[in-house]
Amino acid sequence: MTAPLKHSADITVDVALGDRAYDIVIGRGVLETLGARVAALRPGVRTAIVTDRTVAKHWLEPTERSLAGAGIPTSRIIVEEGEISKTYAGLEKVSEALIAAKIERNDLVIALGGGVVGDLAGFAAAILRRGVDFVQAPTSLLAQVDSSVGGKTGINSPQGKNLLGAFHQPLLVIADTSVLDTLSPRQFRAGYAEVAKYGVLGDEAFFAWLDANHADIFSGGAAREHAIATSCRAKAAIVCRDERENGERALLNLGHTFGHALEAATGFSDRLFHGEGVAIGMVLAAEFSAQLGMISAADAARVERHLASVGLPTHLQDIAGFTQEGLADADALMALMAQDKKVKRGKLTFILLQAIGRAVVANDVEPALVRDFLQQKLSG
């Protein structure tokens, strides 16, 4: 697998869900086409844009211009940046603003932002008037390759990540890769963890390609579009086979059982971005798989080495304030994992590795083994 030598034309990935199928449009500058695409899909529609304060500074007015150019009226709803908005209070604010904007069943909500905005706006759309369609315009790498695709929406509970939500597929995803130029290096790295995840869980050749081409992805070269499109195709294929996560889709949670617990332990704060938690979680999953004899220590080290090479945290000790808020307590982390939405009848579900590129769902892992493993890692 090799990268294209130059930026290609826009790439369209089809999410083939029958009468709920939709396109993911990937390319530089495609946000400018949003208005024309929405008008073609829903003539006469009205829209409301949900975004956060930081994204609004860069991309709200261009988005409004695109819609206005297609004759589409719109209103704006601006929330605070970060997980602080993925709460009951944040959901109430967005929902009430949508009602005040008179968004009706045949109108559209547009989620302009990263994963937080997409999850929050999508959930508000899912429950507004018992269901209003929405469009994802993801502005972070993480959202473009993961959270904007597949229809998972929701908010956090104080007891855990994404415990309240709904499956609600978007009508369209517009992934403009030029907007990623405004991300901080840390935000881009955090999103890259989800790109690497697709290679680790199901495509060793892609993982090897990332090893060779990640510098071009980070610098904004043609490898960026290729990596995003490959990631979206991988997720779309799994979602189409298992939309409601009754089986194979659980593989997409590689690194997330550990990672979500770490996010909860750090208070869903900027001490640990979601993608950073996933990076640490993937390394823990690989190392735990090696401890169970499922993969070699060399393969586990290869996962850790790649993520570290792009500057992602890979160890618990890399988290800011490591000894605070239960991070040095294996029992506290186990309690947080017990609240994970993938728990079934009290049993934890882990995504483990049989090889790089071959992940499996493990429903029968002995909790004592997980606790001992965490204690070992916590002690350094």
User: DSSP string spanning 237-257?
Assistant: HHHHH-TT-SSGGGGGGTTHH
User: What is the helix, strand, coil percentage profile of the chain, to 5?
Assistant: 55, 20, 30
For the record, the structure tokens of 349 come out as 């579900």
Contact 53, 59 (CB under 8 A): no
The answer on whether 6 is annotated among ligand-binding residues is no
Are the beta carbons of 223 and 217 closer than 8 angstroms?
A: yes
Does 75 show up as a binding residue in the annotation? no
Q: Is 118 known to sit in a ligand binding site? A: yes
What is the end-to-end Cα distance of the chain in Å, rounded? Answer: 37
316 within 8 A of 327, measured Cβ to Cβ: yes
The Cα–Cα gap between 163 and 341 comes to: 6
Is 8 flagged in the annotation as binding?
Answer: no
DSSP for residue 358 = E
Q: Phi and psi of 29, rounded to 5°?
A: 85, 5
Contact 136, 161 (CB under 8 A): no
d(CA 262, CA 316): 9
d(C-alpha 125, C-alpha 119), whole Å: 10
Is 377 annotated to bind ligand? no
Residue 139 marked in a binding site: yes
372 marked as binding residue: no
The response to whether 263 counts as a known ligand-binding position is: no
194 labelled binding-site residue: yes
211 annotated binding-site participant: no
Residue 112 contacts by C-beta under 8 Å, 6 or more apart in sequence? 49, 50, 51, 55, 59, 60, 63, 137, 139
Q: Would you say 150 is a known binding-site residue?
A: no
**What positions carry a catalytic annotation?**
130, 152, 194, 235, 245, 249, 253, 256, 260, 274
From CA 332, how far away is CA 137, in angstroms rounded?
Answer: 37
β-strand pairing of 350-355 with 358-362: antiparallel
161 annotated among ligand-binding-site residues: yes
Q: Count of CB atoms within 10 A of residue 369's CB?
A: 12
Binding-site residues sit at: 81-86, 115-119, 139-140, 152, 161, 194, 256, 274
Binding-site residues for NAD(+) sit at: 81-86, 115-119, 139-140, 152, 161
Binding-site residues for Zn(2+) sit at: 194, 256, 274
